[in-house]
Amino acid sequence: MSIMRILLTGGLGFIGSHVAVTLGKSEHEIIIIDNLSNSSINILSKINEIIGESANVHFMEGNVLDQKFMDLVFNTHPNIDAVIHFASLKAVGESIEKPLLYYHENLNGLLILLNTMEQYGCKRIIFSSSATVYGCDTPPPLNETSKTGLSITNPYGQTKYFQERILTDYANVHPDMAITILRYFNPVGAHPSGLIGENPEGIPNNLFPYILRVATGQYPHLNIFGNDYNTRDGTGIRDFIHVMDLAEGHVAALNKQNTELAVYNLGTGRGTSILELITSFEKVNNIKIPYVIAPRRKGDIDEIYASTEKANMCLDWVATRTLEDICKDGYRFTITSSIITSSHDPTHQ
């Protein structure tokens, strides 16, 4: 693949930063935009440190919802070859509490981005979607032809589904637009250097960063929300994919020269229970993770994991890192970065 100029929206976030270092190793020119609402400017120096002397990374602070800012981005960095769109709100629990905020931010952000890309002649986008678009009624493993939009349990998932519909409708009238939708299944872990990883502002909404904060003593215990699911140990089963495997999936999607809309699942193709993840973390890192069983949360389902055959075959990509790698790399990041939070609320999983 030739050297490209690639725009990453939300590129200092958890997934965006790992994609940035993976693309940067290929000497692409990377333009990162981020409003820093759930990320830190300090990540930029970490990205450059990992990439090294070949780093060709530019940063502009701003919001995809700001049309003037988006015009500035495309004028400052003309002839952008492709956009990878990460910028969105993504906390399931918060979306239930603030649905209008999620619809406003996520849908309008995509609309403004597409209009701007059309104005400046950028004809390639890779969209960060989610397995939540499949809803809760389809038994796993889920493939790309499984039904979407049915029984989605939260506004965050609905916004991802609506964004996919927008992209599908847009592709129907813009056959020259290369659109790739990547549906993620529970990204976790960290870069093996320990320099970047998942460090959300405030109390984590996701399981793995909460485990990390229990491991470092910031929270006294982990809540497991329900142990009476129809699974092998009673806890929910998810498809946990190492963030570096996910990042390499984006590079594989970028290498694929599609001229029409394409959809791929990015996961491991196997399910891991909450208790299995905890047990693995304890074994790999020789540390105890105290937990208590709490009532089920609204919207949680028994199990969900991906069928990855399409991505394996069409993108020549496969997730290779193990659950042990996830636990080892994630804990290394926690220790290296000395994550500090002022909150000690143990009520989230």
Per the CB < 8 A criterion, the answer to whether 11 and 86 are in contact is yes
Neighbouring residues of 52: CB distance < 8 A, sequence distance ≥ 6:
none
Q: Characterize the bridge pairing of strands 262-266 and 291-294.
A: unpaired
Helix 323-337 crosses helix 207-215 at what angle (to 10 degrees)?
Answer: 60
Name the residues annotated as catalytic.
Answer: 156
Q: Characterize the bridge pairing of strands 241-242 and 187-188.
A: parallel
d(CA 145, CA 181): 13
Nearest to 258 by CA among 171, 143, 162, 319: 171
CA 128 to chain centre: 7
d(CA 88, CA 109): 8
CA dist list (Å): 302 to 11, 228, 233, 296: 32, 9, 11, 11
d(CA 292, CA 273): 16
Q: Which residue has the tokens 């939300």?
A: 10
Q: Is the peptide bond before 200 cis (omega within 30 degrees of 0)?
A: no
